[in-house]
Amino acid sequence: MFDTVLIANRGEIACRVIRTCRKLGIRSVAVFSEADANARHVRRADVAYPIGGSRPVESYLRGDVILEVAKRAGAQAIHPGYGFLSENATFARACRDAGVVFIGPKPESIEAMGSKAEAKALMEKHGVPLVPGYHGEDQNEKTLLAQAKKIGFPLMIKAAAGGGGKGMRIVRSEKEFADALASAQREASSSFGDARMILERYIEHPRHIEFQVFGDTHGNMIHLNERECSAQRRYQKILEETPSPFLDAQRRAAMGAAAVAAAKAVDYVGAGTVEFIVGANGDFHFMEMNTRLQVEHPVTEETLGLDLVEWQLRIAAGGPLPLTQDQVRANGHAIEVRLYAEDPEQNFLPGSGKIEKLAFPQSSRHVRIDAGVDQGDSVSIFYDPMIAKLIVWDEDRPRALARVREALAQCEVVGPKSNIAFLERLVRHPAIVDATIDTGYLDRHLDEFLAGDAPPSPAELFAAATVVLLDEERTVRETARASADPHSPWNIADAWRIGHPGKRLVVLMQGTHRYEIEAFGHPSDYSLRVTIPHPASGHLPPEAGEGKILRCRVQHARTENGCLFAHFDHEARRTYVAIDDHRVQVHVDDAARQVFTRAPAFAFESSGTEGGNQVIAPMPGRIVLIKAKAGDEVQRDQELLVMEAMKMELTLRAPRAGRIESVNAASGDFVEADAVLVKFLAGQ
């Protein structure tokens, strides 16, 4: 076994590899960019070295610098993680030439499978079923268009190199083809340094099922069962699980055999994943092979009781596979969801900035957290905005779904916006619960998973108000204990008055909606009431009754370990909650979270502006395309610019119809958040 291993990656996967190295007594060496100087993986490693600037091309993609660090640190092997250099055959060959073990497959295997086009040609040669398409060398736009017409629409444009949904577009008509091709090529070139494309017939309503394969240097090859990854948005996986609820034993065996055959065709060594598109009737087609560990590998680990990173290390050191195919035994059901710094309500705009608060459920046999950041860290604009992976396990799928719902309720991110509430709605949706989801379902029905303007229920308002009251009383008690006279009656916070019950006002905000809950009583025992606004205001459900006053008696209220315990109108209820000086969050009746802003009791007026005369940068990024110029007459929602930020392209559109006064950026410019990129002539 190795004494020292360098991890040529960052974030969650670097922390994951470091954890196994520490378990095996292996010294771990991290590398970091300027942006990651104090990152979690740097703090977890035994030693860490700087490798360059913040952009990946200045640091994590510099194979020569990483190899030099490996030599300096005395590392016998390099673990590439996933992404960056993990599927770079040139880097794998450079490691071999330098006498450093690349913890992954041979360069020749990466070359054979790393290009989707070459992999399809190889699978076609070995009789593996393929989706009809084009994966030729001629990348001329006219050739690609001719091939697209031959395949027929709808079709899929995919980057020949890389993965992760980058450089992928669905094209449903010939008139969309040129723009979609150009956009996919730009994204592929930026992400992988390779703009080559392949074309495939788009299979409507497919499922995405992949098989984990492992090979060793002794000629052994097995699979470790499947993972279903059909819950996707724009080709990005959101929820992964094993076993697949779609497969029966016969189909699982056939697909597993095909996956092993695909790996044997390239004499594969180490961990890899063979991915299939599966039709509604169970027909399966080879899609691609990822010659690395996958983001979703923990669900396989949880059902098999294995450490796949340990397998990688032992096989790279020359050891045999620890199990034969007949010895692979699965137990129970595992589900993984990915927590991202992004705003689902704003088209999943990636977020960045300092994480002020980060809360996760306690790790156990049923719950696992693989995090890339800690509270107080920042989500960088230069990399993927994943915060952590939440993995749950239980004896069967219904119980695993219940586990993930409960675990998500205990997660909280304060700082950049997150997708936690979106995930909570996802794991309650019938398409997930009934296992009928396909890879395009989320894109077709996205509004079903977004909160939109859905108002809170009276029960949610009463629960939130109770948490605020308890928090106010706790704060007063702590202040009183620190004062010169801790027993003074002036330190009591229950609004008591002589001759009549005192009243406190709890004000909660959601966007521009203001909710005023009147509270009477004393600590832990309250009478609450709220006046229901006009239903047209959208504040509360119409069935609550226009102008009606709703009341609730709250007794025995207390908070403990992130939960509110209270009797609401004599019904005892346990509710997950979170509160700080600015926000309060509640889960009522197993529903997704409701988050309110705490506001002062006095009224206010908003001074917001329309912002219709300008287009601003939603986050820091690089301008890649300008589609308008000063003097142009444009229509509302017309595309004006395309910018690249956090490994994705963002299209910026006109906020209204009118004439452009100025365009304040050029292609290639790096712009800061809130920079004014386009100005409109006032009144035109």
Provide the annotated active-site residues: 292
The tokens for 414 are 């304060």
Q: Round to whole Å and give the CA distance between 473 and 485.
A: 17
Q: What 3-state DSSP class applies to 297?
A: helix
Token pair in block for residue 174: 């010939």
Task: Pick the closest to residue 592 from 395, 454, 458 (CA basis).
Answer: 454
> Do residues 457 and 463 lie in contact, with contact meaning Cβ atoms separated by under 8 Å?
no
Q: What is the 3-state secondary structure (H, E, C) of 442-469?
A: HHHCHHHHCCCCCCCCHHHHHHHHHHHH
Q: What torsion, rounded to 10 degrees, do the Cα atoms 77, 81, 84, 85 define?
A: 30
Bond from prior residue into 456 cis (ω within 30 degrees of 0): no
The C-alpha angle with vertex 108 and arms to 189 and 123, in degrees rounded to 5, equals 80
DSSP conformational letter for 56: G
Name 683's bridge partners. none
Provide the token pair at 453.
């303007």
> What residues contact residue 170 under an 8 Å CB cut-off, 6+ apart?
154, 155, 156, 157, 180, 202
Contact 116, 158 (CB under 8 A): yes
240 contacts 227 by C-beta, under 8 angstroms:
yes
Cβ 483 vs Cβ 571: under 8 Å: no
Q: Is 289 exposed, middle or buried (0-12, 13-18, 19+ CB in 10 A)?
A: buried
Residue 72: exposed, middle, or buried by beta-carbon count in 10 A (0-12, 13-18, 19+)? exposed
Query: Which residues sit opposite 518 in a β-bridge?
Result: 505, 529
